[in-house]
């Protein structure tokens, strides 16, 4: 529906910043994700831009930290991976 509205009435559809974060959780106590290196590799491999644009597809912004950017008094420190392309991240 959102994509249809973007197509039908471009410039009139807007998703405002929200105090919320979508995330996927893994069991980090046992199995492969108990290894911090595996979790870092997963974090680097996940294409946040693709997830927000193609999977969610309703105007969300990629998140590089848990606290939303619009939280009062919060000044996010850029992730070293944030400015890298997905190809650069995958090469790591």
2 with 56: CB under 8 angstroms? no
67 with 74: CB under 8 angstroms? yes
Average pLDDT over residues 52-58: 87
**pLDDT attached to residue 3:** 85
Provide the 8-state DSSP code for 32.
G
Average pLDDT over residues 11-19: 85
Radius of gyration for the alpha carbons in the chain, expressed in angstroms and rounded: 16
What confidence tier does 30 reach under pLDDT thresholds 50, 70, 90? very high
17 with 54: CB under 8 angstroms? no
Question: How far is the C-alpha of 22 from the C-alpha of 56, rounded, in Å?
Answer: 10
- Taking 90 as the threshold, does the pLDDT of residue 88 lie above it? no
What tens digit of pLDDT does each residue of 68-82 get? 888 999 998 887 777
Average pLDDT over residues 56-74: 87
**Would you list the domain boundaries of the chain?**
2-91
């Amino acid at each position: 529906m959102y994509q249809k509205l973007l197509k039908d009435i471009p410039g009139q559809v807007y998703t405002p910043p929200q105090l919320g974060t979508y995330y996927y959780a893994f069991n980090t106590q046992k199995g492969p994700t108990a290894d911090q290196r595996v979790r870092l590799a997963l974090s680097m491999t996940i294409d946040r831009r693709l997830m927000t644009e193609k999977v969610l597809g309703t105007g969300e912004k990629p998140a590089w930290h848990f606290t939303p950017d619009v939280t009062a008094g919060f000044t996010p420190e850029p992730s070293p991976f944030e400015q890298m392309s997905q190809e650069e991240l995958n090469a790591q």
